Amino acid sequence: MKKILITGASRGIGRAAAILCASRGWAVGVNYVGNEAAALETVAAVQEAGGRGLAIKGDVACERDVIAMFDRAADAFGGLDGVVVNAGIVAPASKLADMAEARLRHIFEVNILGAYLCAREAARRLPLDRGGQGGSIVLISSVASRTGSPFEYVDYAGSKGAVDSLALGLGKELAGQGVRVNAVRPGVIETDIHASGGEPGRAQRIGLTVPIGRAGQPQEIAEAIVWLLSDASSYMTGSLLDLAGGR
Ligand code: NAP
């Protein structure tokens, strides 16, 4: 049985990954920041799918919260073998010229600082030379890191560029210590993130322009995440895996 912590697992891609992990019988820490009802729904779905679920509140951009969420999951499960650094946000579509400093700070704090703090915490616990058992870290980036998301979210796109770099560098740092690090780069996926950016129908609209002809489903990203967590991907590290329907 693997012991996994997923940030931002109350909804969307994180929730789908939690449920798929559970279907393998794995234990899953379900982190969320504010939506407790959604987190508890995910935990119920995890348990129904055959895994063990634990809801853990915490803001990934807050170091104290990140340390506490790792402690909580590791104490409950008896250690951790896998971490999915998934929590991420967008703000309403805008040109860079019109973005306020507060917005830029918030996006970078959650998407960059949050990802780095969570990956750092994993890098302090999983490696063999730090007393861990090895494992897998999966970072959730985006195809935005290579499209740049002009006129919508160049801030978000840049934050995902940082996540790509983290996968490339940390993958090499930990390769000799039994820990693999990879990033998944989804294209447009049907989740709540588009409504939080002010356009609930964005995934369907963009989906029509994707070569495959539609937006993706969270479960289609979860398949890759679980594969990267599993021993089936044992020779893959420091890589970026695009799941974007040909985009
Ligand atoms: P979503 O449906 O909006 O869910 C966001 C999740 O992140 C929720 O569980 C939310 O918790 C949590 N969260 C937000 N801020 C947090 C914070 N500061 N600390 C801890 N948790 C926090 O998002 P999604 O579409 O599944 O996106 C998941 C990841 O995939 C993100 O990194 C996103 O950038 C990436 N991605 C998404 C798409 C897409 O089209 N959907 C495409 C490419 C990449 P609460 O429920 O408590 O608010």
Per residue of the chain (247 residues), give pLDDT as tens. 999 999 999 999 999 999 999 999 999 999 999 999 999 999 999 999 999 999 999 999 999 999 999 999 999 999 999 999 999 999 999 999 999 999 999 999 999 999 999 999 999 999 999 999 999 999 999 999 999 999 999 999 999 999 999 999 999 999 999 999 999 999 999 999 999 999 999 999 999 999 999 999 999 999 999 999 999 999 999 999 999 999 9
Reference 196, options 107, 66, 86; nearest CA is 107
Of 32, 116, 153, 156, the active-site residue reads 156
Output the domain CATH number for residue 67.
Answer: 3.40.50.720
Looking at the structure of the chain, the number of domains it has is 1
Alpha helices in 84-241 (DSSP H): 101-108, 114-125, 144-147, 154-174, 193-196, 202-207, 218-229
Indicate the top mutation candidate among 33, 160, 220 to test ligand 1's pocket, ranked by most ligand atoms within 8 A of CB.
33
Q: How far is the CA of 131 from the centre of ligand 1 (A)?
A: 31
Question: Which residues lie below 8 Å from residue 98, measured CB to CB, with a gap of 6+?
Answer: none
Specify which residues 241 forms β-bridges with: 184
Q: How far is the CA of 5 from the centre of ligand 1 (A)?
A: 15
Residue nearest to atom 10 of ligand 1 (CA): 8
Q: What tens digit of pLDDT does each residue of 47-83 get?
A: 999 999 999 999 999 999 999 999 999 999 999 999 9
Q: Containing domain of residue 13, as a range?
A: 3-243
Task: Give the separation between CA 237 and CA 1, rounded to whole angstroms.
Answer: 22
